[in-house]
Amino acid sequence: ETGVTQSPTHLIKTRGQQVTLRCSSQSGHNTVSWYQQALGQGPQFIFQYYREEENGRGNFPPRFSGLQFPNYSSELNVNALELDDSALYLCASSWGGTGRPGELFFGEGSRLTVL
């Protein structure tokens, strides 16, 4: 148990649809980062939020967007879904100052299937 919860755990969408994934960070953590993990691959960094501001982004198109709320929970939104977006989406929370990563605590992930 890491104290990081993600919802939904599994979902199925069709091409062109939009999806919102949610993450509740561990108590006391102010930084949330999102990762995409395709089957058989390591996680790929999508973006990171520190105190409600995006402070780092990986090589993902603008249709991947996010939010962090005052309670430090977070959302990942993906518009115009493509088949290649099918993956496990992981959220990790940490205590970070100026974006420096502390130990990451991962949720169990949201498994997205795009048909």
Chain positions contacting other proteins, by CB under 8 A: 2, 4, 33, 35, 40-45, 48, 56, 58, 90, 92, 96, 99-101, 103-104, 106-109
**Which residue's CB is nearer to other proteins, number 15 or number 100?**
100
Long-range pairs, 13-18, Cβ under 8 A, ≥24? 13/81, 13/112, 13/113, 13/114, 13/115, 14/81, 14/114, 14/115, 15/81, 15/82, 15/83, 15/114, 15/115, 16/80, 16/81, 17/81, 17/114, 18/77, 18/78, 18/79, 18/80, 18/81
Q: Which is nearer to other proteins, 7 or 79 (CB)?
A: 7
The least CB distance from residue 80 to other proteins, in Å, is: 25
Residue 66 or residue 109: which is nearer to other proteins going by CB? 109
Shortest distance (Å) from residue 109 CB to other proteins: 6
Smallest distance from the beta carbon of 19 to other proteins, in angstroms?
19
